[in-house]
Amino acid sequence: MVQAAFINPLSEDGKQIVRELGSLDMVSTTNEELIDVINHTKSQEISSEIPQNYLDLALKRMEWHLTRKNKNFNYKEYSFLMNKNITPFDVIAFYLLCQAIAIKFGPNSRESRVMVESEGELIESRLGELAGWERKEVVTLVLNSLISYSSIKWTFFKDLLSSKKLNLQDLILDKGRIILNKEEFLDHFGDRIKHRDPEKMFELVIGDKVKELIVTGMVMQNTENYMQLVYEKSRREIEPNPVLLELADKVSKLLSESARNYSYGGGFATDVKASPLNPLAFPPCVKKVLEGMKSGGRNDAIILFLTPFISYARLYPGVFAENVTKRVSDVDPHLNAVQNEILPMISGAAERCTPPLFEDQPQEKVNINAKMGFGMHDTLELKNEGETLWYTPMSCEKVKIHLPSLCKPDKTCKSIGNPLSYYNRVKRELKNSKDSRIDQRDESSSKN
Ligand code: SF4
């Protein structure tokens, strides 16, 4: 039988596993039982990379999530994560990760978000690997421990719905109540379904799919809530355990490496890599705003047009090619480029406007932070990230409609649809011509 903790480490049996471990003294000691489970996992690739202790396992768990969508991902390296016998070790690894991340980075950090996402993906993958009957059994077991079937109102899921871990359209409602089991469905809708078999309709519209979505969403939400609790508790207590701080640093390093080497969320990074801004490659519209707006459209030009352009051009120029939503901190974890390059360039342009934007309307700084995803706050801080969306750069079409005075197309503009594509193309051309000049110089110096 599959333990509930395999899917929900925060379940009662999961908590019992943690109680049995007691202290953190042994988490970095070689664990023969863990190694034995891994060695006996079907299709597991055995190498020196397999986890030797709880801390290794925690990092492997995170590494699986960060790399699994990359082209060269080797699933055989991580097969043990899908083995139900890993449960007692995996639960400890889960708690270590949650505590380390919450204490060191807080519940609103990029690390916390990735932890919650990884938990959701692990649940989906594990359910996908189980036999049909086991999958049904464990989902029912976990769901029963999370909610009471009798009369669940959709408002019960308000946190899941607002954080988009669950969509209202996935649920079947009757007078605000969520219908989850077959008997209830037949009771409520049996008479109303004509010309179709009501039981087949139940399988089609609800079946086990909705239950799995709810289980996944609730475990993710509870993981988030748990990290919030750990964080609050850690503020009141003495020094955190150094083992946890060390683990947190290693997780952060993994995330930074993943952002640098891969496009986190899928595939290798495209050839459009983040690098310092090259103003020579800016399109005419951007150059015009950087000189300072002298007439109408000042606020929109700085906030809606320039801010997304400069931030994406610097941090995520391949956004349209990769088509993966990211946050600023996924690509600039400590906000160094934001503070030292992006904001100064935007502020410089704002200052050159007539009248200068921030002297005239200082409250507009809040909107710049908001357009980069950091909520409506006076200062740009990591803890507020995610409260708003990181706006993508306006298309040429939108610029022409909303800020027509900016668009003075040159010949490159004829073949592009977005100022960011203009920037990437000209930057590539400038780099190619510089490389060919260096090649020519090397060639002629070798002849001499
Ligand atoms: S065509 Fe596009 S890139 Fe060129 S100036 Fe107009 S808005 Fe800018």
Reply yes or no on whether the pLDDT at 268 is more than 50. Answer: no
Average pLDDT of span 352-363: 92
Determine if ligand 1 sits within 6 Å of the CB of residue 394: no
Of the CA atoms within 13 Å of residue 13, those in its CB half-sphere come to 15
Widest CA span of the chain, in angstroms? 93
User: What type of residue is 22?
Assistant: G
Residue 209 has pLDDT above 90, yes or no: no
Is the domain of 235 the same as that of 302?
A: no
**91 part of a folded domain:** yes
Question: Is residue 393 in contact with ligand 1, taking CB distance under 6 Å?
Answer: no
Domain assignment present for 402: yes
Average pLDDT, the chain: 87
For residue 285, the CA-to-ligand 1 centroid distance in Å is 6
pLDDT band, very low/low/confident/very high, at 165 (cuts 50, 70, 90): low
Domains in the chain, number: 2
Cβ neighbour number for residue 117 with a 10 Å cutoff: 17
Same-domain pairing of 226 and 322: no
**Domain range enclosing 226:** 4-145+205-261
Let me know if residue 56 belongs to a domain: yes
CA 88/CA 123 separation, integer angstroms = 16
What is the whole-number distance in angstroms between the Cα of residue 272 and the centre of ligand 1?
Answer: 20
DSSP alpha helix (H) spans, 190-306: 198-205, 209-236, 242-261, 284-290, 298-300
Distance of CA 416 from the midpoint of ligand 1 (Å): 8
Please state, for a pLDDT cut of 90, what percent of the chain lies above it.
Answer: 56
Q: Is 405 in the pocket of ligand 1 (CB under 6 A)?
A: no
Q: Say whether both 230 and 367 belong to one domain.
A: no
Measured at the alpha carbon of residue 259, what is the angle toward residues 264 and 74, in degrees to the nearest 5?
Answer: 55
Are both 284 and 248 inside the same structural domain? no
Q: Does pTM top 0.85 for this prediction?
A: no
Closest atom of ligand 1 relative to the 286 alpha carbon: 8
For the Cβ of 407 lying below 6 angstroms from any atom of ligand 1, the answer is yes
Assess if residue 163 is contained within a domain: no
Q: Tell me, in angstroms, the distance from the centre of ligand 1 to residue 371's CA.
A: 21
Residue 266 has pLDDT above 60, yes or no: no
Assess whether 255 and 287 both reside in one domain. Answer: no
Same domain, residue pair 355 and 239 = no
What's phi and psi for 177, nearest 5 deg?
A: -90, 145
Nearest to 84, CA basis, from 49, 116, 41, 119:
41
CATH of the domain at 77: 1.20.930.50
What pLDDT score was predicted for residue 269?
44
How many helices (H) and strands (E) in the chain?
A: 23, 2
Is 252 in the same domain as 305? no
Q: Ligand 1 centre and the CA of 105: distance in Å?
A: 40
Mean pLDDT over residues 426-442, rounded? Answer: 77
Q: How confident is the model over 21-43, as pLDDT tens digits?
A: 988 888 999 999 999 999 999 99
**pLDDT given at position 267:** 39
Check if the beta carbon of residue 308 is closer than 8 Å to that of residue 391: yes
Residue 95 beta carbon below 6 angstroms from any ligand 1 atom: no
Residues 324 and 353 in one domain: yes
Mean pLDDT of 173-195: 75
What is the pLDDT, as a whole number, of residue 436? 66
Distance 380 CA to ligand 1 centre (A): 29
C-beta of 59 in contact with ligand 1 (< 6 A): no
The mean pLDDT of 383-388, rounded to a whole number, is: 86
Give me 244's structure tokens: 């946890």
What pLDDT does 95 receive? 97
Does 252 lie in the same domain as 291? no
Same domain for 361 and 224: no
The answer, yes or no, to whether residue 444 has pLDDT greater than 90, is no
Q: Report pLDDT digits (tens) over 313-356.
A: 999 998 887 767 788 998 898 899 999 999 999 999 999 999 99
Closest residue by CA, ligand 1 atom 6: 407
Query: Do residue 91 and residue 128 come from a single domain?
Result: yes
Cβ of 231 below 6 Å from ligand 1? no
